[in-house]
C-alpha cells in the first residue's frame, strides 16, 4: 500500500495505552496487536488451534519424572521497536515478569506451581517445573511479547506504536528493512486527509441514523463480526431476578430481534450466551429464547408476581409481588445509555405491568436489579471466565468495580469455565468444553444477552471482500497491509 491509511472507529483502541504492563488481550487484537504487539503464540481459526507466531516452532514439552520442561525458541531476526534484536535472554526476562500475572488472570491465583526460568540459547528460554502444572504452554497464547526500556514499553512487531493526539500511530519498525505505509488508528473522529486511504468501522450507534422516513444505514463494503456484546447483567438479590426461571422470563419479555433490526439496523446477531455464533464453541442446541410476553407473564405469575386490577393478564396492568410490593426493575448503565434500546425494553415490560427505570448513577441509593453494559469478550478463545466465574465477579474479585452488585454465578458453570480455560492452554483446545460452558450458561441465564454486534466496514481506497473472517487472526493485515 503506497498511501498512508487512516483507521476510524476501531473500538479496542479507544482506551489503549502503550505503556506499563500491556492488557493480556492485546496480542489477539487484529490491528494494533497483530501489527505492533504480537504474541509469541496465538489461537487461530476456523478450526481452533494454538500455533507459533513469534516462535520458530511450538513450545517443546519434555517430561521429567513428576515435572516437565517447556522450551520456547524464537524466530530469527525479530526486532524490538527500538531496533535491537529480540533474544533468549529477553524472552526469559519477559517470562519471569509476566507468567504469574498471565496465569492469575487466565486461570486463577491458586494454580501456579513453583518454577525456574532461564535463557538456554541465543533465541531460547526454558521454564522448568519440578511438579507439572495443571495447564499447558499455550497459557501464553495471545499475550504480547514486550519489555520496558527507558521508561517506555516496546514490542516486537512489524510496526512500532506510539500515542498521538488522535489515537495510536503505527509506523514501520526501524529494525526491519520493509517499507509500509503509516497507519493511524483514531480513537475518536478523524478528518479525511486528501490522498490517504481510509477504513471506517461503524458500530450501530454511529452507522444507524434516524430520519423522517425511519431508520437508515449506510452502504457497507462488508459486515464484520466482533466479540462485542450488549447485555443486561442480572442481580440475583433482586426479587425479579432471583431464579433462573425468573431471569428466563425477563429475557423472553425483551424484543431482542426487533432491537437488532431497529436499534442496530441489522448490524448484530442474536445469541444465547456471550459467545459468537461464528465460533465453533457456540452451542447451537441452546436455542434463542423467543420473545413471548404471554410465556413470560405465566412464569412471573407462577413465581408469585400476579398482575392486579380488574382483569388478570390485562395488558399494562401493574404487576406486584404477592405481598403487595410493586414489581419494578431498576437498571444501571455501566458504560453509557442506549436510548432506543432502553425505550424498547421499557415499552415491552410496561405491557407486562413492570415499570423499568434506567439510571446512570451506579453508586448509592436503592438496590439495582440489573446492569446494562456493552463489553468485549476474549477473542479468539471466547474464554468468558473473567466475566462469569464466581471468583472473578464476587465483590473481592477482579470485576468488583464493574458492577454495583455480585452477578449470578454457579458451581456447575464455574467448573465448566475452569475446564475450558485449561484446555485453551493446550495446542488443540477442546471446543466441546466451550459448548458445555454455553449449556451451563443457558441453564443459569445470568445475563440477558441482547445482541452480538457487527461492524459496518466502509473502505476508501481499500478493497474489501464481501466476507471478512475474523477467525483468521491476520484478517486486517491481509486487508490493509499485504
Q: Does position 320 have pLDDT exceeding 90, yes or no?
A: no
- For the chain, the average pLDDT equals 88
Structure confidence at residue 63 as a pLDDT band (50, 70, 90): very high
pLDDT in tens, 212-258: 444 555 678 888 888 899 999 999 999 999 999 999 999 999 999 99
Cα dist. 392→102, 143, 241 in Å? 15, 20, 20
pLDDT in tens, 358-382: 998 655 556 899 999 998 898 899 9
φ, ψ (nearest 5 deg) of residue 188 = -140, -150
For 448-465, give the DSSP string. EEEEEEEEEEEEES----
Domain positions in the chain are 5-195, 225-455
Please state the rounded mean pLDDT for residues 408-412.
95
- Second-level CATH architecture of 5-195: 3-Layer(aba) Sandwich (3.40)
The neighbouring-strand residues paired with 211 are 214
Q: Using alpha carbons only, what angle is made at residue 108 by residues 106 and 114, rounded to the nearest 5 degrees?
A: 100
Sign of CA dihedral 101, 102, 106, 112: negative
Q: Does position 207 have pLDDT exceeding 60, yes or no?
A: no
> In terms of pLDDT, which residue wins out, 285 or 181?
285
Fold (topology level) of 225-455: Dipeptide-binding Protein; domain 3 (3.10.105)
Contacts of 165 (CB under 8 A, 6+ apart): none
Structure confidence at residue 106 as a pLDDT band (50, 70, 90): very high
180-184, 357-361, 398-402, 423-427, range with greatest mean pLDDT: 423-427
Q: How far apart are CA 126 and CA 95, in angstroms?
A: 9
Q: Does position 181 have pLDDT exceeding 90, yes or no?
A: no
pLDDT in tens, 94-105: 999 999 999 999
Phi-psi group of 452: left, alpha or beta (phi > 0 → left; psi -120 to 50 → alpha; rest → beta): beta
Predicted local distance difference test score (pLDDT) of residue 291:
97
Q: Report which secondary-structure segment, H or E, holds 351.
A: helix 339-351
What is the CB neighbour count within 10 angstroms for residue 3?
Answer: 13
Structure confidence at residue 53 as a pLDDT band (50, 70, 90): very high
Q: How far apart are the first and last CA of the chain?
A: 8
Q: How far apart are CA 301 and CA 320, in angstroms?
A: 10
Cα dist. 391→105, 309, 434, 438 in Å? 11, 44, 19, 18
pLDDT in tens, 394-408: 765 555 557 788 899
Structure confidence at residue 69 as a pLDDT band (50, 70, 90): very high
Q: How far apart are CA 220 and CA 277, in angstroms?
A: 21
pTM for the structure as a whole: 0.91
Structure confidence at residue 150 as a pLDDT band (50, 70, 90): confident
Q: How far apart are CA 426 and CA 139, in angstroms?
A: 8
Amino acid at each position: 500500500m503506497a498511501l498512508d491509511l487512516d483507521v476510524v472507529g476501531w473500538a479496542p483502541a479507544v482506551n489503549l495505552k502503550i505503556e506499563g504492563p500491556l492488557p493480556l488481550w492485546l496480542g489477539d487484537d487484529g490491528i494494533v496487536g497483530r501489527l505492533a504487539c504480537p504474541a509469541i503464540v496465538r489461537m487461530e481459526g476456523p478450526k481452533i488451534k494454538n500455533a507459533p507466531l513469534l516462535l520458530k516452532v511450538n513450545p517443546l514439552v519434555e517430561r521429567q519424572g513428576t515435572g516437565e520442561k517447556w522450551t520456547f525458541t524464537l524466530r530469527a531476526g525479530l526486532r524490538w521497536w527500538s531496533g535491537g534484536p529480540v533474544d533468549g535472554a529477553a524472552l526469559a526476562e519477559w517470562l519471569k515478569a509476566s507468567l504469574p500475572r498471565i496465569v492469575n488472570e487466565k486461570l486463577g491465583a491458586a494454580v501456579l506451581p513453583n518454577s525456574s526460568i532461564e535463557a538456554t540459547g541465543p533465541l531460547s528460554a526454558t521454564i522448568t517445573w519440578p511438579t507439572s502444572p495443571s495447564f499447558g504452554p499455550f497459557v501464553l497464547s495471545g499475550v504480547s511479547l514486550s519489555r520496558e526500556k527507558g521508561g517506555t514499553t516496546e514490542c516486537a512487531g512489524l510496526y512500532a506504536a506510539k500515542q498521538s493526539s488522535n489515537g495510536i500511530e503505527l509506523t514501520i519498525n526501524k529494525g526491519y528493512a520493509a517499507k509500509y505505509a503509516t497507519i493511524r488508528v483514531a480513537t475518536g473522529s478523524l478528518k479525511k486527509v486528501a490522498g490517504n486511504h481510509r477504513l471506517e468501522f461503524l458500530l450501530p450507534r454511529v452507522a444507524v441514523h434516524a430520519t423522517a422516513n425511519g431508520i437508515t444505514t449506510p452502504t457497507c463494503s462488508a459486515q464484520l463480526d466482533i466479540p462485542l456484546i450488549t447485555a443486561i447483567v442480572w442481580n440475583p438479590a433482586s426479587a425479579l431476578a432471583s431464579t433462573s426461571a425468573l431471569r428466563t422470563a425477563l429475557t423472553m419479555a425483551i424484543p431482542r430481534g426487533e432491537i437488532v433490526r431497529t436499534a442496530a439496523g441489522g448490524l448484530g446477531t442474536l445469541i444465547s450466551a456471550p459467545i459468537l455464533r461464528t465460533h465453533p464453541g457456540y452451542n447451537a442446541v441452546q436455542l434463542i429464547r423467543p420473545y413471548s410476553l404471554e410465556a413470560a407473564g405465566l412464569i412471573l405469575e407462577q413465581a408469585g408476581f400476579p398482575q392486579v386490577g380488574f382483569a388478570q393478564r390485562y395488558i399494562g396492568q401493574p404487576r406486584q409481588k404477592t405481598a403487595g410490593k410493586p414489581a419494578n426493575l431498576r437498571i444501571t448503565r455501566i458504560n453509557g445509555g442506549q436510548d432506543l434500546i432502553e425505550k424498547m425494553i421499557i415499552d415491552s415490560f410496561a405491557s407486562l405491568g413492570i415499570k423499568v427505570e434506567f439510571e446512570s448513577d451506579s453508586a448509592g441509593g436503592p438496590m439495582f436489579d440489573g446492569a446494562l453494559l456493552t463489553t468485549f469478550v476474549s477473542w479468539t478463545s471466547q474464554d468468558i471466565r473473567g466475566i462469569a466465574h464466581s471468583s472473578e465477579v464476587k465483590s473481592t474479585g477482579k470485576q468488583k468495580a464493574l458492577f454495583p452488585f455480585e452477578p449470578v454465578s454457579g458451581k456447575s458453570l464455574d467448573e465448566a469455565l475452569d475446564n475450558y480455560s485449561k484446555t485453551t492452554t493446550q495446542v488443540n483446545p477442546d471446543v466441546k468444553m466451550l459448548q458445555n460452558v454455553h449449556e451451563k450458561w443457558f441453564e443459569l441465564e445470568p445475563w440477558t444477552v441482547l445482541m452480538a454486534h457487527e461492524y459496518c466496514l466502509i473502505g476508501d481506497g481499500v478493497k474489501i471482500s464481501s466476507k471478512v473472517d475474523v477467525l483468521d487472526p491476520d484478517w486486517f493485515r491481509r486487508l490493509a497491509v499485504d
